[in-house]
């Protein structure tokens, strides 16, 4: 769910430089192959600085996850002038069209591995609980804006957001772990759902599927 491309420009400070090196090393080696030493290889400052800041690989990765979530939150405007239906379509397309503005496959795979750490590590579970809450609240905000402007029907925004998020997360997980190539079908059906569940009658598109 995190778009990381834009922060790979000139880092603003040491933390950002560490986060860039972590991102690159994650994409190259994945979680399983990652070590602080490998992150240091891509870090222009001293390796001892890295060990000074973080006691373990997992501590560094938890800080990386927090950093990426902060960036996501900063990038989402509290109020947007863009039409809610366009904002929702942008979310669906970013999640399910890898390589087209969305996270690339290597990063998606690394995130899948990080998320799986939550199965046995409460610190990761705490992070992903927050991550999922933030992401779902963003969806709820878009749906509420659409209901208010009259372009969406009056739905249970929490319930619709939970379902949308599950479908997006499942679709991304499948890209990373099974490469079924089913993203296009999932995305087409998600659009059917949005058209019929959310779009008010006079705004409803004709479904050609």
Q: Does 119 bind its own copies (CB under 8 A)?
A: yes
Q: Does 120 bind its own copies (CB under 8 A)?
A: yes
Number of helices (H) and strands (E) in the chain: give both, helices first.
Answer: 9, 0
Q: Does 1 bind its own copies (CB under 8 A)?
A: no
CB of 181 or CB of 202, closer to its own copies = 181
Q: Does 62 bind its own copies (CB under 8 A)?
A: no
Closest Cα to residue 193, out of 158, 163, 172?
163
Q: Does 207 bind its own copies (CB under 8 A)?
A: no
| Contacting residue, 3, 11, 27, 30, with its own copies by CB under 8 A | 30
Burial 166-176 (b: 16+ CB within 10 A, else e): ebbeebbebbb
Query: Is 111 exposed, middle or buried (CB count within 10 Å of its CB: 0-12, 13-18, 19+)?
Result: buried
| Contacting residue, 3, 16, 132, 195, with its own copies by CB under 8 A | 132
Site for its own copies in 138-167 (CB under 8 A): 156, 158-160, 162-163, 165-167
Residue reference for tokens 């509420």: 144
Interface mask (CB under 8 A) for its own copies, residues 72-101, using x and -? Answer: ------------------------------
* Whether 102 contacts 96, CB under 8 Å: yes
Q: Does 133 bind its own copies (CB under 8 A)?
A: yes
Alpha carbon distance 4, 40 (integer Å): 19
């Amino acid at each position: 769910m995190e778009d990381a491309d834009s922060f790979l420009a000139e880092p603003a400070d040491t933390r950002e430089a560490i986060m860039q090196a972590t991102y690159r090393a994650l994409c190259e080696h994945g979680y399983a192959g990652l070590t602080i030493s490998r992150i240091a290889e891509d870090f222009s400052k001293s390796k001892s600085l890295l060990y000074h800041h973080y006691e373990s690989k997992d501590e560094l990765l938890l800080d990386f996850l927090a950093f990426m979530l902060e960036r996501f939150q900063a990038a989402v405007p509290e109020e947007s002038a863009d039409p809610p239906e366009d904002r929702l379509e942008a979310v669906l397309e970013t999640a399910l069209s890898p390589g087209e503005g969305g996270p690339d496959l290597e990063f998606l795979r690394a995130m899948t591995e990080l998320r799986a750490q939550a199965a046995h590590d409460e610190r990761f579970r705490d992070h992903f609980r927050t991550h999922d809450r933030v992401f779902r609240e963003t969806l709820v905000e878009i749906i509420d804006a659409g209901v208010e402007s009259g372009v969406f029907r009056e739905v249970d925004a929490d319930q619709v957001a939970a379902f949308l998020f599950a479908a997006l997360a499942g679709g991304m997980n499948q890209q990373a772990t099974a490469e079924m190539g089913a993203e296009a079908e999932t995305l087409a059906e998600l659009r059917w759902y949005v058209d019929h569940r959310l779009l008010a009658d006079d705004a409803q598109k004709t479904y050609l599927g």
